[in-house]
Structure 1
Amino acid sequence: MHDYQLLIFDWDGTLADSISRIVDSMRLAAAAFELTPCSDDAIKGIIGLGLPEAIQALHPQVRAPAEIERFRQLYSEYYLAFEAEPSALFAGVAESLAAFRAQGYRLAVATGKGRHGLDRVLAGQGWLDYFDVTRCADETASKPDPLMLHEILAQCGVAPQHALMIGDSSFDLQMAARAGIDSVAVGYGAQPLSALRAYGPQLAIEEFNELRVWLAGRANRQVIEVAEYVG
């Protein structure tokens, strides 16, 4: 028995070790667009946004829809070239997600990736039907707008207090707070825990397996509390 029923995961930097490829692709696209590339930290700071929003945040001089689309295409071309060998999952992710499913949790993905990109990486993992629901930035509002979380909750029939958002960016945690959902901050992805703790996560982790241990502890405590109440 546990109070959380639905675990919602960001993808890049939370489940998959893809941050360096995002940074490199954004820098290469800027250079090809004859723009001064931003620093690695600046690019990491926008990871989690939808791609058009990320481009405009980094390069506000790129304004026209046609320019934004061209930049997006350049970025995608570079990223797909890097992804010829798919980004690996972080240590403990595959085993922990399997354990969560076996324990009765419902699983979802809320990502800044586009639908085509997410389906490609899910297919590469053999996970096209693995998650109960997935939502992408190009089919709803970009983070930190809570719309994609509202949509996930509605599709799963789960109340906000029974869901948990796990992510590596401030946008993930802001989105969760706006949706009334508890969050877990991941410190091995785009942004360090020193920056993420300001958003009030329930837990801050440096390894994915720490989430599994924490959830198991919560479930065990609830079993004990119920037994004591019944007794």
Structure 2
Amino acid sequence: MNKPINLVVLDMAGTTVADDGLVERAFAAAARRMGSEPDPMLDHVRATMGESKISVFRHLFGDETKAQQANTVFETAYGELVTAGHIAPVPGAREAIGQLRAEGRTVVLSTGFARVTQDAILAALGWQDLADLTLCPADAGGRGRPYPDMVLTAFLRTRAVEGVDRLAIAGDTSYDMLSGVRSGARVVAGVLTGAHDREQLEQHGATHVLGSVAELPELLARVEI
């Protein structure tokens, strides 16, 4: 029998949270506020879904002051959409997280958003106590995906397992997959409820591709046999 997987790091938007395209809507608001047309930039935004949002703006604007201004507008716009009720759990996500914890696994929710936006999402869903820990890039020294820093921060902070071979991650983007691979996680599960398709997830290291995070408890039970 394989060692049990006792630490699970889950992405939020697109994986456990359905946000109905709010990232692109908030980005468009930020681009227009900065005097730019959003359409020429959207391909890059879509390709880098899952990355720390400030990193995306640094690439697009090439100037730290402008990037910080755009990120502030983006986070504000996204937060307003969240507060207005434009998000919901991915079907079965809450139940899956509950099952994982009931099985004795530590569950961490991670995001590329700033802490204030992450907290707004958690409050809107009533998820403040759903997971054992929540992380944003600032909690990991400022580097978000595709770096492994948030996954490794979860490993260090929770002390739930003695090695990364007992760790699983799940996400909906190529950058989620890269961060999982680079962390050494045994299970790097892509889900098809968000930004990227099966081919993109597999190309970037997915060990498994699931219809949704609701299938994750069953997958972990299988890989532990």
TM-score by length of 1: 0.86
Match of 1:177 in 2: 181
| SS at 1:164 equivalent | strand
Gaps of 5+ in 2: none
Opposite residue 81 of structure 2, the aligned amino acid is: F
Match of 2:80 in 1: 81
Residues 77-111 of structure 1, C-alpha deviations (whole Å, 9 max, x = no match): 32123211151011111111111111111101222
Q: Is 2:19 the partner of 1:54? A: no
Mark the CA change 1:180 to 1:19 in structure 2 (over 3 Å): closer, same or farther. Answer: farther
* CA contact 2:15–2:212 (8 Å) conserved in 1: no
Gaps of 5+ in 1: 223-231
Match of 1:191 in 2: 196
State the percentage of identical aligned residues. 23
CA distance in 1, matches of 2:97, 2:208: 18
Give how far 1:19 is off. 5.4
Match of 1:67 in 2: 66
Give how far 1:192 is off. 1.0
Moved more, 126-135 or 95-104: 126-135
Opposite residue 16 of structure 2, the aligned amino acid is: L
Aligned length: 217
| SS at 2:107 equivalent | strand
CA distance in 2, matches of 1:94, 1:51: 25
CA distance in 2, matches of 1:134, 1:42: 27
Match of 1:138 in 2: 138
Q: Is 2:21 the partner of 1:20? A: yes
Instruction: Find 1:168's aligned residue among 172, 176, 181.
Output: 172
Match of 2:217 in 1: 212
| SS at 1:153 equivalent | helix
Match of 1:42 in 2: 44
Task: Answer with 1 or 2: which has the greater Rg.
Answer: 1
CA distance in 1, matches of 2:214, 2:97: 10
* CA contact 2:177–2:206 (8 Å) conserved in 1: yes
Opposite residue 168 of structure 2, the aligned amino acid is: L
Give how far 1:38 is off. 3.4
| SS at 2:189 equivalent | strand
Residues 17-65 of structure 1, C-alpha deviations (whole Å, 9 max, x = no match): 12500011112221222212136543222221112101133x2xx2332
Match of 1:228 in 2: none
* CA contact 1:56–1:63 (8 Å) conserved in 2: yes
Pairs within 5 Å for 1:71-150: 71-83=70-82, 84-140=84-140, 141-150=143-152
* CA contact 1:86–1:124 (8 Å) conserved in 2: no
CA distance in 2, matches of 1:192, 1:207: 12
| SS at 2:39 equivalent | coil
Give how far 1:207 is off. 2.5
